[in-house]
Amino acid sequence: MSDFLTVSVLLATLASGIRLATPFLLAALGETIGQRSGVLNLGVEGVMLLGAYGAYYATLRTDSILFGILVSLIVGGVMGIVYGVVTLALKAEQGISGIGIFIFGLGLSDLLFQKQVGTPTPIDGLGDVAVPLLGDLPWVGEVIFHQNVLVYVAFLLVPVLWFVINRTPFGLNVRAVGETPEAADSLGVSVDRTRYITIFVGNAMAGLAGGALALELGIFQQNLTNGHGFIAIALVYFGAWRPSGVMAGAMVFGLVSATVLQWKTLGIVVGTTASIVGMFPAVLTILVLVLVSRRTGQPSALTRPFERGH
């Protein structure tokens, strides 16, 4: 254990935790704004897969990471429009529709990959960017403030999203349609329009989360996200529908995963013990969810379709 408790290893673990947390954070923040407006999207995983493939393929073909990021956002946004039409216009049940989106994303991303690329072909992924001044700090600067640009974007979105939800008229509308859509409607707020916007933004962020994963790894593979989208949904509950809470949840999950990896690498845990310790992130998530479920904070109209006059 003494090998682990050194400054360099602890900072490396922190940096690893931040990298691992980033895709979860982006996707969970997107899901947060959707759920605050009363829309649950269980299809985050599928949208992430499509975003990941879109970003990977665009970068592979054009050598432009910026274009890859843009494509991941567009792919996510398009999936948001599809999900909005299905759940808002066609009034389909949100849970089932989300699962459909997940299966669609899983299948389509794999099909496109097989047909358009075939063998996993590496691309030059996102390089690290040093934050001016902070990047020069001893120890901390080198490890924490030398990350890829989407890491900074993800963490900057936390206060931005908090501000939008809590300090803007649009955020007020979002909260209103998520709590009492009938009252919001009676005051002239368009429930459907507000939800279309949150679904679009939330899915675009899920697409970006997938893109962040593919561009960080510099590769795409079948089922690349490997459950990230479902964990992101859990993190929304974990964070009690607050951006800061969601960030805390993503960081806890990332840090626990990074710590377990370091322990295994350094031989602190081996064999059966290592396998048991490897379950910590999932067990921790379940435990926190059980505790959080006792708290209030869930939008009252979550998963409830709105129909004027009903």
Partner 1 sequence: MGRRGWLVGLLAFALAMAACAEEEDAGRSADDPIRIAMVGPSASNDLAFTQSMVDSLDRLGEDYNIEVDVTDGTFVIEDAAVAIRGYAEDGFDIVLAHGSQFGGSLSEIAPDFPDTVFAWGTSRDTFGLTNVYSYSVQSDEGGFINGTIAAHMTESGTIGVVGPIEVGDIKLYIDGFVAGVKSVDPSITVNVNYIDSFSDVALAAEAAQAHVEAGADVMTGVSQMVVGATGVAREHGVLWFGSQTDQVPLGEEIVVASQIYRWDFQLSQIVEDLLNDEVSGRVITADFSNGGLTMAYNPGLPLADDVQAAADAVEAGLKDGSLSTGVE
Binding site for partner 1 (CB under 8 A): 8-9, 12, 16, 19-20, 23, 110, 113-114, 118-122, 125, 213, 216-219, 221-224, 226, 228, 257-258, 261-262, 264-267, 271, 274-275, 278-279
Q: Choose between 16 and 35: whose C-beta lies nearer to partner 1.
A: 16
Give Dmax over CA atoms of the chain in angstroms. Answer: 66
Q: Give the list of residues 6+ apart from residue 111 with CB closer than 8 angstroms, or none.
A: none
Q: Are 208 and 69 in contact (CB under 8 A)?
A: yes
Q: Choose between 19 and 304: whose C-beta lies nearer to partner 1.
A: 19
Least distance CB 207 / partner 1 (angstroms): 17
Least distance CB 78 / partner 1 (angstroms): 24
Q: Choose between 120 and 297: whose C-beta lies nearer to partner 1.
A: 120
First-to-last CA distance in the chain? 61
CB atoms within 10 A of CB 134: 12
User: How far is CA 310 from each of CA 204, 240, 273, rounded to the nearest angstrom?
Assistant: 31, 28, 55
Least distance CB 163 / partner 1 (angstroms): 30
Least distance CB 223 / partner 1 (angstroms): 6
Retrieve residue 95's tokens.
């849970």
Least distance CB 119 / partner 1 (angstroms): 5
Q: Choose between 113 and 238: whose C-beta lies nearer to partner 1.
A: 113
User: How far is CA 214 from each of CA 12, 66, 179, 220, rounded to the nearest angstrom?
Assistant: 21, 13, 36, 6
Least distance CB 222 / partner 1 (angstroms): 4
Pick the closest to residue 213 from 18, 24, 14 (CA basis).
Answer: 24
Least distance CB 177 / partner 1 (angstroms): 35
Cα–Cα distance, 181 to 84 (Å, whole number): 16
Q: Choose between 28 and 292: whose C-beta lies nearer to partner 1.
A: 28
Q: Choose between 16 and 194: whose C-beta lies nearer to partner 1.
A: 16
Q: Give the list of residues 6+ apart from residue 129 with CB closer than 8 angstroms, or none.
A: 146, 147, 148, 149, 152
User: How far is CA 150 from each of CA 2, 18, 205, 238, rounded to the nearest angstrom?
Assistant: 33, 11, 11, 23
Cα–Cα distance, 94 to 42 (Å, whole number): 8
Q: Choose between 64 and 223: whose C-beta lies nearer to partner 1.
A: 223
